[in-house]
Amino acid sequence: MTIKPTSIDDFIATGCGRCKLGGTPGCKVHHWTAEIKALREILCKSALDEQLKWSQPCYTHNGQNIVIIAVLKQSIALSWLAGAQFSDPNQQLEKPGEHSNHVRYQRFFSLDDIDQNRDQIDDFLTQALSNDVQSAKKPVTTAPASPTELITMFDQDPEFKKTFESLTPGRQRSWLLHFSAAKQSQTRQNRIEKAKPKILEGKGWNER
């Protein structure tokens, strides 16, 4: 059984705890420790408040989530939660998934990469805290309702339900879109069964 972190320091020391590699040398967090600390230092020097949300370092302003440090297998990223509204002439931002409406990733591959893009990070921070971005009305996007087959699975496996509900909203939405896209009940059930191991590892539909 994995144990989820209770603080940012705990996250750096043991990982996010969303998969069986948490607390082991194989956890991807350990591969990016120096980069996590570098990004954390930059964000902590800004006007943002640091919190642990969804077992990840999350930075907020006036109660609004602004950016998350997202640790990936091949890179580390600043996940800007309103990044779709940013001016991005250097094209550093990318969608984390096909159905991402607001979130944009700013990826880094090394400490040097972070250092070389420090000005761009500061620019995105400024944009994130601007009144225009803070007050911008976002399009209303409603995640599809949980299909009957998923609800049945939740009833049969409460631990699976608990894990699914602990996923980030974006990850939950990606799975619901994937399940609901199937027209046949048996196909939906098959998709859920196949997805279960990845969900129990804390992953979204588009994550390997």
* Number of separate domains in the chain: 2
pLDDT at residue 129 above 70?
yes
pLDDT of the residue at 192: 94
Considering the domain architecture, whether residues 126 and 154 belong to the same structural domain is answered as no
**Same domain flag for 98 and 39:** yes
What's the whole-number mean pLDDT along residues 39-50? 93
Instruction: Label residue 168 by pLDDT band (50, 70, 90).
Output: confident
pLDDT at 178: 85
pLDDT-derived band at 80 (thresholds 50, 70, 90) equals very high
Q: Which domain holds residue 39?
A: 8-135
In a domain, 3, yes or no: no
pLDDT digits (tens, 9 = 90+) for 171-196: 888 898 888 878 789 989 999 999 99
Distance CA 56, CA 75 (A): 15
Residue 140 lies in a domain: no
Same-domain pairing of 105 and 187: no
At 27, the pLDDT band (50, 70, 90 cuts) reads confident
pTM of the model: 0.66
How confident is the model over 133-152, as pLDDT tens digits?
A: 555 545 555 567 889 999 99
Classify residue 41: in a domain, yes or no: yes
List CB contacts of 205: < 8 A, sequence separation 6 or more.
97, 171, 174, 175, 177, 178, 195, 198
**pLDDT tens for residues 82-102?**
999 899 999 999 999 877 888
Choose one of 135, 161, 192: the last residue of a domain: 135
Q: Are residues 107 and 128 in the same domain?
A: yes
130 and 164 housed in the same domain: no
- Looking up residue 47, the CATH number of its domain turns out to be 3.90.1150
Of 135, 163, 181, the residue that ends a domain is 135
Which is more confident, 59 or 16? 59
Q: By percentage, how much of the chain surpasses pLDDT 90?
A: 53
Question: Rounded distance, CA 52 to CA 207, Å?
Answer: 22
Give 99 or 78, the one with higher predicted confidence.
78
Domain shared by 64 and 124, yes or no: yes
pLDDT for the residue 1: 55
Q: In this predicted structure, what is the pLDDT of residue 137?
A: 43
Tens digits of per-residue pLDDT, 108-117?
Answer: 999 999 999 9
**Residue 81 domain-assigned?**
yes
